[in-house]
Amino acid sequence: MKGKVLKSTGSWYTIIDEDGNHYKCKIRGKLRLKSSRTTNPITVGDTVEFSTESDGVTGNIDGIEPRRNYIIRKSSNLSRESHIIAANIDQAILVVTIDFPETNLVFIDRYLATSEAYQIPAILLFNKIDLYSDEIFQEKLNYYESIYKPLYPCYRVSAKTGEGIEEVREIIRGKSSLFSGNSGVGKSTLINRVEPNLNLKTADISHYHLKGKHTTTFSEMFPLEGGGFIIDTPGIKGFGLVDMDKREIFHFFPEIFKVSATCQYKNCTHEHEPGCAVKDAVENYLIHPSRYYSYLSIMNEQEGKYRT
């Protein structure tokens, strides 16, 4: 039988078949050993071959179809290099808040660079806009949008008032959409507003630290009434980039890659070389300085260490 992995909790996987039936399966030993560089040999979104036991609801995963794409982050497990968040994704949607709590620009850029590296179209949702009526917040929101609107689709949404929710429903219809974001940005609340029947667990942010409380502990995929899937991920504190050649990182910043063609040296790192078109573009605000700063932070990060 063939199905799609909806959820992974330890050694058990929830699988949905083409008829919408759900099964609980474990991985056969040989498959478990094949993926030594990641914490999880099978992930949400994988298409798998499985066989059922006599009860008809439990079984074993016998094989995995090749992944169209996937997205990963550095693992907190020091014995492994990375953790696969999800596979076979049509688009990666990052939920951002400019305050309550603030989403760090470097974090946004790391997420976008990872999406570029794995050839997954990215979208930014600026949530909680109902809280940003004051002029100072409006200026900050406009600042964020000035950085990203020229590069990626950006939408203003409010899970509380419903603003922008219909647009989000149209964006995700018929697609497998990965939803990510820092804890506290209202990701689960937003998903519940988009697809009310899901009723995902939510929690208020800590007003003392202005940080979110974790409500999602495992990535999980949910079928949508209008077709497609939402993949809900745990709140991500940091996003370390994995399996990237330092010499290719500029490829994952579209505006830097475009300008780099006119650099004096073909192997220009865009850090200190003379005749660097990228540095000139930054000075002339053709490339936003914050994006260039994020690029440098990725270039100069030490193994196993990254800013959040």
Contact 11, 24 (CB under 8 A): no
Q: Where are the domains of the chain?
A: 2-66, 73-77+85-232, 246-299
Q: Tell me if the pTM is above 0.85.
A: yes
DSSP 8-state class, residue 141:
H
Q: What class has domain 2-66? A: mainly beta
Could you tell me the pLDDT band of residue 209, with boundaries at 50, 70 and 90? very low
Asked whether residue 71 carries a pLDDT value surpassing 80, the answer given is yes
Asked whether residue 214 carries a pLDDT value surpassing 70, the answer given is no
Contact 119, 146 (CB under 8 A): no
Alpha-carbon span 279 to 22, nearest angstrom: 54
Output the six-digit token pair for 35: 């993926």
Please give the CATH superfamily to which domain 246-299 belongs.
Probable gtpase engc; domain 3 (1.10.40.50)
Of residues 155, 138, 165, the one with CA closest to residue 93: 155
Contact 202, 189 (CB under 8 A): yes
Output phi, psi for 73, to 5 deg.
-140, 165
Percentage with pLDDT > 70 across the chain: 83
Helix/strand/coil for 116: helix
45: left (phi over 0), alpha (psi -120 to 50) or beta: left
pLDDT for the residue numbered 308: 37
Pick the CATH number of 73-77+85-232 from 3.40.50.1010, 3.40.630.30, 3.40.50.300, 3.30.990.10: 3.40.50.300
88-103: average pLDDT: 96
DSSP letters spanning 20-41: S-EEEEEE-HHHHHH-TTBS-S
Contact 104, 96 (CB under 8 A): no
Asked whether residue 15 carries a pLDDT value surpassing 70, the answer given is yes
Of residues 91, 86, 68, the one with CA closest to residue 168: 91
